[in-house]
Amino acid sequence: MDSKKKIWRGFALFMAAMLVMTYVSRMVYVSRMPRVKWSNPTSASIRNKITAEGTVEAVNAQAVIGLDGLLVEKVCVAAGDRMEAGTVLYEVNMEDMLAQLAELSAQEEAWQKQELAKRREAATNTTRAQEDYDTNVTELDRRIAEETKKLEELMEDLDTHMFRIPEEDASDEIWIAWADERLRFDREIAEKGRLIEDIQLEKDKILRQADRNIEDARRAQSAAESGLELGASGVSQVRERQERIALLTELSENEGKVSAESAGDVLEVMMQSGMRMGADAVLRYADDKGSRTFRTVITQEQKPLVHTGDVVQLTFPGSAEEVSETIDSIVQESGGYTVTIRLEPGVAQGRTEGVMELNSTSEIYDFVVPAKALHNDGGNAVYVLEEKEGILGTELSVRSMTVRLLDKNEDYAAVADELLSGDIKVVTECDRELENGMAVKLWD
């Protein structure tokens, strides 16, 4: 009998242990069970609030051209920096610059001296030509006057001679002598007249030559004074040198600091310390006076909600500025769609980044669920809470239901499926990852 009692006792202990373990295993099972919250799909519209971060870019970027041949001592700005008019952009090496300035100044001084000498020579030549002209005129006028006087004397002698006409009865010798005399007068007068004419012609000729000489001398002087003799390239060189001297002089007065002429945002810096600059751009910046564009990339899911012409709100981090702008273009690119918005001039000055926000209200959808209820099951799907008969009795379990996503925002999603109804319980929240058919319990 004792052995029977032991067996009974063992049997009872076994059953008691099984009872205890029943509770233990239940507790373990329940503790591992995901907890879920659910809600019914509702009829509602979706307020789409699309937020996308993007960049602000200058439409026409300005360039700062480097001072050709100068050595960069220090770069004072970097891409993304804000610069105002007068902001020092970079500094050149003073020693190098002063050496160049000294050399150019010496060249200029030598050239100036050479030019001055040329001008003086030209002026002298002009004066001399004028003097020659004047001398010739005087001399020739004197000669003409002299010959004219002689001619007048001959004319008077002739007139006198004519009054000394012999008597009619004078002898032939007298008549012949008188006539010969008269002929002599006539010849001399004619010769004197020709002489005067010759002198006049010579004068004209000499004066014409003298005029030419004067003109040549004046032209040479004018050319010397105007620098035309240098030719176009020579003038250009001189001007360049003079401009460079002026530039370097100004730069030396500024202690080698190159400053911004206008306010803007530094976009790109293409120089570095120790670099000798060329005639290319060393810095690009967006001038505040110019307009800018805002670019951002939206996803495939966001694309149906964004259209060209939509009015969006733009804000800029670190600024209270908020503007309404219109979407100008949406272009598909790898990885999404690029939205471009041309900003009004003066907008987003000094900003390189911005945030686009688009608000729109959709049509009313039949079934709207919280967005976090969606999961990927080879497509969009929601977990539906169902009662399942199992060994442990009626349990709550989840079933993955594939749905078509009609619209979505950050909080809600509009879905559609033939099996959806307003009574269906959609899992909206869970404390661990769910799997199809998994038993769950409700959140307390």
Residues that bind other proteins (CB under 8 A): 4, 7-8, 10-11, 14-15, 18, 21-22, 24-26, 28-29, 389-394
Residue 14 beta carbon to other proteins: minimum distance, rounded to whole angstroms: 6
Residue 40 beta carbon to other proteins: minimum distance, rounded to whole angstroms: 28
Closer residue to other proteins (CB): 15 or 106: 15
**Listed residue (354, 328, 322) closest to 341, CA to CA:** 328
Nearest-angstrom CA–CA distance, 234 and 107:
13
Q: What angle do CA 359, 360, 361 make, to 5 degrees?
A: 135
**Residue in the structure block whose two tokens are 């120089």:** 271
Residue 437 beta carbon to other proteins: minimum distance, rounded to whole angstroms: 14
Residue 395 beta carbon to other proteins: minimum distance, rounded to whole angstroms: 9
Closer residue to other proteins (CB): 33 or 137: 33
Residue 392 beta carbon to other proteins: minimum distance, rounded to whole angstroms: 5
Closer residue to other proteins (CB): 334 or 394: 394
Bridge partner residues of 322 (DSSP): 315
Closer residue to other proteins (CB): 29 or 443: 29
Instruction: State whether residue 238 is helix, strand or coil.
Output: helix
Closer residue to other proteins (CB): 18 or 331: 18
97, with CB counted inside 10 A (0-12, 13-18, 19+), is buried
Instruction: State whether residue 407 is helix, strand or coil.
Output: strand
Closer residue to other proteins (CB): 28 or 364: 28
Residue 382 beta carbon to other proteins: minimum distance, rounded to whole angstroms: 27
**Listed residue (367, 349, 348, 344) closest to 416, CA to CA:** 367
Nearest-angstrom CA–CA distance, 266 and 286:
6
275, with CB counted inside 10 A (0-12, 13-18, 19+), is middle
Closer residue to other proteins (CB): 30 or 106: 30
Residue 417 beta carbon to other proteins: minimum distance, rounded to whole angstroms: 29
Closer residue to other proteins (CB): 25 or 124: 25
Residue 34 beta carbon to other proteins: minimum distance, rounded to whole angstroms: 16
Instruction: State whether residue 307 is helix, strand or coil.
Output: coil
Nearest-angstrom CA–CA distance, 296 and 273:
34
Nearest-angstrom CA–CA distance, 239 and 237:
5
Structure tokens at 126: 């002009």
Residue 438 beta carbon to other proteins: minimum distance, rounded to whole angstroms: 15
Report the side by side order of strands in the sheet with 257-259.
Answer: 72-75, 88-92, 257-259
Residue 35 beta carbon to other proteins: minimum distance, rounded to whole angstroms: 17
Residue 317 sits at φ, ψ, to 5 deg, of -55, 135
**Listed residue (309, 334, 313, 335) closest to 323, CA to CA:** 313
Q: Measure CA of the first residue to CA of the last residue in the chain; give whole Å.
A: 53
Closer residue to other proteins (CB): 7 or 174: 7
- CA 213 to centroid of chain Cα atoms: 56
Closer residue to other proteins (CB): 20 or 311: 20
Nearest-angstrom CA–CA distance, 368 and 40:
9
